[in-house]
Structure formats: C-alpha cells, structure tokens
Amino acid sequence: MVSSLFNTVIHDPLYNALVFLIGSVPYFDVGIAVVILTLFVKLILFPLAKKAIHTQVALKRITPRLEEAKKKYKDNQQEQVKKTLEIYKENDIHPLSGILTLFVQLPVILGLYWVFLRGGLPTIDPSTLYSFVPIPESVNMNFLGLVDMGGKSVLLAFLAGITQFIHARIAIHPPEVKTKPGESLKDDLARSMSLQMRYVLPIFVGVISYFISSAIALYWTTSNLFTIGQELFVRRRIRDTQK
C-alpha cells in the first residue's frame, strides 16, 4: 500500500518529468535534466520557503516579548504557553514552517534515489511512462561530459556539503542565550541544535550525497544554491519594506 502510494505520488511523476526533460535538453544530458527539475521543485516550494524566512525574521524580532512572557509567567507553565501562542498569532508566525519545507523536499530526494536505484536510467522503462511522455532518442548519463550521474562524485558531494554550510551560516544564527553552558538545559539544547545545523548537517549532507549517487549530490547542490539566493533575496526585501 505504502509502496504503491509512493510510486504513484512521488516516483512515477519524478521519473516521467526526468525522462521528458532528458528528451528536451541539449545532448540528452541527465545532469542538466536534474538541474532543471530541481529548479522547478524549488519554484513550487518558494511560497513555503518564503514563509519560513519571514517566520525566522519575525521570531528574532519578537524574542524580547517572548522572554518577557517567560519571566512573567515562570510559575505558570500553562499561562506561559498561552501567552506565547498569542504572540505568535498576533505576528502571524508559524514556528514549524521551516521544518515543513525540509520535509516536503525529502520525498523528492527519496524519489530521485529510487529512480536511479531501480535502474530506470539510462535504460527507459516504458511501462512507467505516461502516455504523453515520449521516449528520448538517447540518454547521456555524463553531466557536461564529466560526471557519471549513476556513479559517485567527490566533487559534487563536496559542493553539496559546502553549499549546505554556506546556507546554514546565512539562515541560522547562534541562539541568543544569557546563561553559561551547563546552567540551563533549554539553552544548552538551543546551542547544541544550532551547532548541529551549522556544522554537523553540512558534513552529513556531503557524506550522504557521495554514497547515494551523483544525481542526488547534484540535486542537493543546485537546491542549496537556489536556497542561498532565495534567502538573500527575501531577507533583503524584508529589510527594504521595514525601512
């Protein structure tokens, strides 16, 4: 049941989109098709990502109010939560929007992995194609004639990791805590999470990108580059509107 749903909703649409793009791009280059597909996915997710960036900026702005509520209702946990939610609502903040954007991308990554794992490329599986998707005349697995999309690439894995690191540096700032390490469990967790997102996650992305396939590394690199540009653009627009 789950496998069938995954194939219908994720794998088959991605496979058909890739095959269609392969037949449309120069030299039937699978890598170029992956880049275009990535950009298409990121454009679809742009409204969610934009909302997540606005949420991050707004959360930083209302931090003093949250701290004030925390101190005022430190002996009343229920009232503290109620006041926090009121502040979120007043400022139209959805704290989980950033996590939602990440989780939406995971099925795409799994879908692409499954496309290459099942051997759907370079040999085309006609039984998976929609009736309106033509079979390409050829399938070129060498991205720009340099990198085998079905194999592994140290260069692309490194680029995936370093672009993830750059994005984390731009998007994730050290938590504003007033305690020293060991004095507050909550603040220690905030510090730990920030460090993991800024340093551990890029390493994880680089390692995973290498061991899965070059296509995934290319997807992640392209996605990160788009996200970096998106982050800078949206944050600049926010600053301009606040002047």
Alpha-carbon Rg for the chain in angstroms: 22
The answer to whether 224 and 160 are in contact (CB under 8 A) is yes
Positions in the chain short of pLDDT 70 = 1-2, 73-77, 95-102, 118-120, 173-196, 242-243
Instruction: Record the tokens describing residue 231, joined without a space.
Output: 């982050």
pLDDT given for residue 183 in this prediction: 52
pLDDT given for residue 145 in this prediction: 86
pLDDT given for residue 157 in this prediction: 94
Give the count of beta carbons closer than 10 Å to the beta carbon of residue 3: 8
Dihedral-angle region of residue 69 (phi above 0 means left; psi in -120 to 50 means alpha; beta otherwise): alpha
pLDDT given for residue 224 in this prediction: 92
**How far is Cα 62 from Cα 91, in angstroms, rounded to an integer?**
8
Contacts of 123 (CB under 8 A, 6+ apart): 139
pLDDT given for residue 100 in this prediction: 66
pLDDT given for residue 109 in this prediction: 76
